Amino acid sequence: MRVDKSVNFQSPDIDQSLWQGIRAGDREAFTLLFEKYNHTLYNYGSKLTRDSTIIEDAIQDIFIDLWRLRVNLAEHPTSVKFYLYRALRRRIHLSVEKFPFTDEISGFGDHLLPFTNANSEKIIIESEALAEMEGRVKKMLSTLPDRQIEAITLKYFDEFKTEEIAKIMGVSEKSVRNFIYRALNTLRQNDYALAGSSILGMLTLIYSISNQS
């Protein structure tokens, strides 16, 4: 089969179509699947390690194996997205175990400042306010254990079900629910830090900022 370059990535059947294309040796389908998931996989990987090289190498290895072993791929996987996320987690953990290092939450770059046509004084004020907010969010993020961050990311932003998250993380569903509960409870206790923002709003801010740092 050949996959149309103008394909709609939001189509519910696109993953299966691209998967079948890869199984049939369609390089275009392979490229499109990589383009669809490369960014989201990197974002997820950043919750597991701060080493960008490990994340990039892991993603590359997954897709190399996907193409190399295409004739042995399952004909109808339940979820291509689930397959990719679980494969990435395994790759990263193997790399981290082989080359251990200490992760640190990095600072925020200037590219996070919003574009505005306002005068320079207003830009300075907005920049200072954003920097203060970033500092608060960064502090909140640092209070959450890695597994709690991973669980809420998979739940609220990658939209996996509890059962799928458990399989990706290699833990029980009860553990996943506990990770999420504890993370939300910690954020609620620190609700003052974001001046009345909703919990979901805080999660969105944490996710967007940590992905761009």
Q: Say which range, 39-43, 152-156, 165-169, 196-200, has the weakest mean pLDDT.
A: 196-200
According to CATH, where is 1.10.1740.10 located in the chain? Answer: 14-98
How distant is the alpha carbon of residue 84 from its chain centre?
12
Q: What is the pLDDT of residues 172-183, one digit of tens each?
A: 999 999 998 888
Q: How far, in Å, CA of 88 to CA of 159, rounded?
A: 17
Q: What is the pLDDT of residues 76-120, one digit of tens each?
A: 888 899 999 999 999 998 887 766 544 443 333 333 334 444 444
Higher per-residue confidence, 3 vs 73: 73
Question: Is the CATH number 1.10.1740.10 carried by domain 14-98?
Answer: yes
According to CATH, where is 1.10.10.10 located in the chain? Answer: 116-212
Domain 116-212: CATH architecture, name and number where available: Orthogonal Bundle (1.10)
Among 67, 37, 41, which Cα is nearest to 52's?
Answer: 41
| Whether residue 146 has pLDDT greater than 80 | yes
The pTM assigned to this predicted structure is 0.59
